[in-house]
Chain A
Amino acid sequence: MDLDLTPDQAGLIDAVGKLIAPFATQPAGAAQDFLVSAELEDRLTDSGFRDVATVEGMGSLDAVLLTEAVAALAYVTEFAASAIVAPKLGIPAGRPTVLMQSLDAPARFLTGGGIAMIADGDDVRVMDLADREIEILKAPFGYPLGRLRSPESGGERIVGAAPLLRHWWHVALAAEIGAVARAAVDLAVQYVKDRRQFGRAIGSYQAVQHRLSECAVAVEAIRQLTRRAAATEDAQDALIAASYAKEACARIIYDTQQFHGAIGVTYEYPLHLWTYRLRLLQGELGSFAETASELADARWG
């Protein structure tokens, strides 16, 4: 047992932090549901960070650590699926990866380019998206969204890989929720320190403090559970992390927005970039109750 990061891991986090720093905050004047940048995507691909799990001496935990950094950015970019999930299915990494629950399901990052990994019964289909026709969807979530226009066929089939896809998708999802939730809570904590009403910082009121403290407990727990799931590679640990993380979404979405007041639902203020991602993530791969119930199946049969 040793729950500190190794010097290599600390170095990795430091290196990716420097690479993605320009994308950490919302630029002045931006007013969109989400922010994307081709340069950010290129930087992550060219640097080889997406391949970290396949590098000798590194693995899924390192991919999770990088996801914790990348998914917390104001700019949104696919990283968790390509870094955490694809290598586990033997897919050569290095390209943005879209995870889909079925051929006709709407999905995050399904906007053209990269590859898709699609659950299909017990199997997984892997599809190059470069030459597929895609319908871009506009919906109030903090992600680029789309779906396949002709979802009936295509792709290479990996027989019996669906459980493995689901296992690592849960890990990736927990890592993303953990990162996004942490960013939202950090922003709310800073806001209540700065915002003054009735002559004092609103963060000095116990009603506010206790609720943000409960959010902080959830954020720290998600981090530990996700890192553990990545390190043990245990499917039940993955469900524990995903179930706990999904449950926490409701609290974190509500409280971080509530303590911001009206500014938190404007485009000019960046909170929505994270809360609206959580609104989508809490339902990915099923509701919290469905994931908790799947955990019960895994533990007790």
Chain B
Amino acid sequence: MDWSWSEEHRAFRQKIRDVLKKHLPADWESKSKLDTSSAYMSRFSREFCPILAREGLLIPHWPKEYGGGDVDAYHHWILGEEMFAVGDPRSYQYMNVNWVGPAILRYGTEAQKHAHIGRIAAGTHIWCQGFSEPSAGSDLASLTTRAERTADGYVIDGMKIWTSGASLADYCFMLARTGGTRHEGISVFLVPMDTHGVRAKPIPNLMGEFSLHETVFDRVAVPESARLGDEDQGWSIVRQVMHNERIGQPRYTLSMRALDRAVARLKDKGRFGGQSVRADAGRAHAALSAAQSLALKVIDGRVKGHPPDALTSVARYALVAADRQVADFLGAYLSDDLMAAADPLISAAYRRTGSTGIAAGAAEIQLNLVARDHLQLPKG
């Protein structure tokens, strides 16, 4: 057992930091507000991701034959840690490189690879994820958006909701029902967002500028070549390509920075002397460390090629619990800074940590999975 980073991993992290230092503007925090979903961040990502691509930092975890570097899962996680720590200047392109691209590489036809992989690897296009629906959230398999066969393809009808970045995106990786019930009969479609009948309407919210949308698919005609994989195979595709996403982003890096900043500000104001503020800060730091150490254990399993297990849900829940403590700490001790929007990092962390428990799926679903898969408790 060895908790220290190898020379190679340390050098990789340093390279990312150097690139960030060189290419993020000096007033990055105030400009971007560290909001992945902002119009600014999304525009920035279309310039920044091509730089990452040139530096070999956009898809280092992809196979070499598709422009990647075949690096291990720790490199990939380090990349996520460093990006998330500064609000993720890749904007929603992090999804492209983490799972959309890999899904197309694995299940796509040559024509689909030709159409999409080059653009994703160049860092110029943004994808969104069309999964949740008004009546299909945690119970995703109950989705009702339909894709009806036509002579030369499909017509998609239905509504997606909570779609992140939909009004900024070029493509949507979406699920629609092609038959059957529940998990059977769901297919994946790759739909250009400028297709006639696709309408994305932002939902004003507390998380970020364009982080939530209602996305309507109104008689959207797509060719058969828009379907990824076999018809009715969507559920297993999503399970395969998303299993690494259950743990989500390494959110603790932004939260740790925000906690450090919060303490520095409290010290400047002479408000870090009491035991309760110190204990609450220490407690939040310990919780973030717990989330980090469990996440690293999960990534260690990936590096060794173990199939994902219940520890993923354990780690995800620890992340939610830690972010909640950070949100509570900032709210309790720095409400003056939050009211005055005095520090973009603190405001961003307050906004983002407040929703960790619902982002990437409800935390209670993770607890169900811990109960079922980790503790082997009986079904209700």
Contacts and interface: CB of A to CB of B under 8 A. Distances in A.
Interface in A228-268: 228, 231-232, 237, 239-240, 243-244, 247
Contact of A1 (B3, B285, B374): B3
Contact of A3 (B1, B285, B289): B1
Nearest to B293: A224
22 contacts: A2-B2, A3-B1, A189-B375, A193-B376, A193-B377, A201-B377, A209-B375, A210-B367, A210-B371, A213-B367, A213-B374, A216-B314, A220-B311, A221-B293, A224-B296, A225-B286, A227-B3, A228-B3, A240-B290, A243-B286, A244-B287, A294-B282
A188 to B, nearest CB: 10
A300 B267 contact: yes
Contact of A225 (B74, B290, B304, B317): B290
A61 to B, nearest CB: 6
Interface string B292-306: 011011001001100
A292 B283 contact: yes
Contacts of B1: 2-6, 9, 61, 227, 231
Contacts of B377: 189, 192-193, 201, 203-204, 208-209, 212
Contacts of B128: none
The 7 closest A-B pairs by CB, nearest first: A292-B282, A209-B371, A295-B282, A221-B290, A213-B370, A224-B293, A296-B278
B64 interface: no
Contacts of B283: 243, 247, 288-289, 292
Interface string A9-48: 1000000000000000000000000000000000000000
B44 interface: no
Interface residues of A, number: 51
Sorting the interface of chain B by its residue count into under 10, 10 to 19, 20 to 34 or 35 or more gives 35 or more
Interface of A is mostly: helix
Nearest to A237: B289
Nearest to B289: A240
Given A1-B6, A240-B286, A295-B285, 17 more contacts: A1-B4, A2-B300, A5-B1, A6-B1, A9-B1, A203-B377, A204-B378, A209-B377, A213-B370, A214-B367, A224-B290, A224-B296, A224-B297, A225-B293, A228-B3, A293-B279, A300-B260
Contacts of A216: 314, 370, 374-375
Interface of B: 1-6, 9, 74, 260, 263-264, 267, 272, 275-276, 278-283, 285-287, 289-291, 293-294, 296-297, 300, 303-304, 311, 314, 317-318, 321, 364, 367-368, 370-371, 374-380
A300 B281 contact: yes
Nearest to A224: B293
Contacts of A210: 364, 367-368, 371
A56 interface: no
B370 A244 contact: no
Given A243-B283, A296-B282, A213 B375 contact: yes
Contacts of B300: 1-4
B279 A292 contact: yes
A197 interface: no
B275 A289 contact: yes
A130 interface: no
A137 to B, nearest CB: 29
B375 A212 contact: yes
Contacts of B296: 1, 3, 224
A292 B280 contact: yes
A122 to B, nearest CB: 22
